[in-house]
Amino acid sequence: MAKSTRRPLVAGNWKMNLDHVEAIRLIQDMALRLRNLDHRAVDIAVHPPATDLRSVEGIIGADQLPIALGAQHCSAYSSGAYTGEISVAMLARLSVTLVLVGHSERRLHYAMTDTDVAATTAAVLKGLLTPVICVGESAAEREAGETETVLVRQVSAALEGVAKGAEQSIVVAYEPVWAIGTGIAATTEDAQLACGRIRDEIRERRGDVADSIRILYGGSANPENAGELVSQADVDGLLVGGASLQGESFAAIVSAVCACYGT
Ligand code: 13P
C-alpha cells in the first residue's frame, strides 16, 4: 500500500498539563483554528489527562468537532483492586478511541516493561480501541549503536499483544527518548530509517498488512519540521507533545501535514 493511501494522523499528547478548565479552553481554541483549515485528508487526535476527558468529550460532542479523543495510558486489567488505574471500558464510555501504550515516560518512571506493553495493547484491542504503541531508543542506546536492536525488541514484544488479523487496528509511534522535550528532533533521515525499520519488522512478523499500519514520529515535532518529517515514505503522522499545548502551534502542524498530503 502506498503512503498516500495511509491516512496521516496528528495526535497531541498533553501529558500531565492543563486541568479540565484549561483543557476546555484549549480544545475550543483548537476547534476555531482548525475550522479555517481543509483537513479532510488528515486525522486529528488529542490525548488530554484523564481528569479532562469528560470535559473535552463534551466539547467535541456538542460541537461535532472532527477530533478523536485519546487517553495517555490505561490498565491491562478489566476491573478490580488496581488503585489509581483506569480500564479500557471506562475510557470507551467517555468516547475515547485511542490509547497511548508504552510511552517512554511510562516505561521510564513507572517501570512499564515490554510484557506490560503487550498486555495493555491486548486489552486495548479487546475493548475495540486503537493502541498507539510507543517505541524508541534512549540517548545511551543510540550512542551505543543499539537503536535498531531496541526497536526490533520493542516492536516484536508489543506484537505479542496483537492477535493475528488485528494488526490493522494498531498505530505505532517512533519516539526517540533523546528527542522528547529537548527541542532537538530526529533528522528526517533518521526518522525515516527508524520508521522504515519498524515497518519491516512488522512485515517480517505479520506480512503485507505492515503497509497499512500508520507509523508516527514523535519528539520535538513543531510547525517548522512537521512537513518535512511527514514527507518521508514511512512517516504517517506525528505524535506531538509540547507544541500541542497551544492551539496556534498545533493547528500550524496540522496545516503543514495537510500541505504535504495535498489538501
Ligand atoms: P515533545 O513534542 O514535547 O518532544 O513530546 C513528544 C512526546 O513525548 C509525545 O508523546
| pLDDT digit string, tens, across residues 212-256 | 999 999 999 999 999 999 999 999 999 999 999 999 999 999 999
- The answer to whether the beta carbons of residues 111 and 194 sit under 8 Å apart is no
| CATH class for the domain made up of 9-260 | alpha beta
Cα(39) to ligand 1 centroid in Å equals 22
8 Å CB contact between 74 and 123: yes
What does the H/E/C string look like for the chain? CCHHHCCCEEEEECCCCCCHHHHHHHHHHHHHHHHCCCCCCCEEEEECCHHHHHHHHHHHHHCCCCCEEEECCCCCCCCCCCCCCCCHHHHHCCCEEEEEECCHHHHHHCCCCHHHHHHHHHHHHHCCCEEEEEECCCHHHHHCCCHHHHHHHHHHHHHCCCCCCCHHHCEEEECCHHHCCCCCCCCHHHHHHHHHHHHHHHHHHHCHHHHHCEEEEECCCCCCCHHHHHCCCCCCEEEECHHHCCHHHHHHHHHHHHHHCCC
Active site residue 47: no
How much is the mean pLDDT over the chain? 96
Burial of residue 77 (CB within 10 Å: 0-12, 13-18, 19+) is middle
Query: Is 80 exceeded by the pLDDT of residue 36?
Result: yes
Stated pTM of the model: 0.97
CA atoms of 44 and 238, how far apart (whole Å): 10
Atom of ligand 1 nearest to the CA of 239: 9
pLDDT (0 to 100) of residue 4: 63
**Beta carbons of 81 and 106 less than 8 angstroms apart:** no
What separation in Å is there between the alpha carbon of 211 and the centre of ligand 1? 25
Could you tell me the pLDDT band of residue 2, with boundaries at 50, 70 and 90?
low
Q: Which residue CA neighbors atom 5 of ligand 1 most closely?
A: 241
Task: Inform me whether the pLDDT recorded for 3 exceeds 80.
Answer: no
Nearest CA to ligand 1 atom 7: 241
Amino acid present at 48: P
Nearest atom in ligand 1 to 180's CA: 4
Please tell me the predicted confidence (pLDDT) of residue 39.
83
Residue 173 · residue 179 · CB < 8 Å: no
Q: What is the pLDDT of residues 6-17, one digit of tens each?
A: 999 999 999 999
Distance, in Å, from the CA atom of 94 to the CA atom of 25, rounded to the nearest integer, reads 19
Cα-Cα-Cα-Cα torsion 233, 145, 173, 167, nearest 10 degrees, comes to 80
Domain assignments of the chain as residue spans, ordered by start:
9-260
Parallel/antiparallel/unpaired status of strands 43-47 and 9-13: parallel
What's the gap in Å between 219 CA and the centre of ligand 1?
5
The 10s digit of each residue's pLDDT in 42-94 is: 999 999 999 999 999 999 999 999 999 999 999 999 999 999 999 999 999 99
Question: Which residues surround ligand 1 with Cβ inside 6 Å?
Answer: 13, 103, 175, 180-181, 218-221, 239-243
Ligand 1 pocket test: which of 132, 184, 239 has the largest number of ligand atoms within 8 Å of its C-beta?
Answer: 239
User: What number does the ligand 1 atom closest to the CA of 15 have?
Assistant: 10
Mean pLDDT of 120-124: 98
Q: Which of 137, 167, 175, 201 is catalytic?
A: 175
Is residue 103 part of the annotated active site? The answer reads: yes
User: What is the phi/psi pair of residue 128, to 5°?
Assistant: 65, 30
Catalytic residue, candidates 103, 137, 167, 201:
103
What is the atom index within ligand 1 of the atom nearest the CA of 183?
4
Range with the lowest mean pLDDT among 30-44, 109-123, 150-164?
Answer: 30-44
Of all protein residues, the one whose alpha carbon is nearest to atom 2 of ligand 1 is 241
Asked whether the beta carbons of 192 and 232 are under 8 A apart, the reply is yes
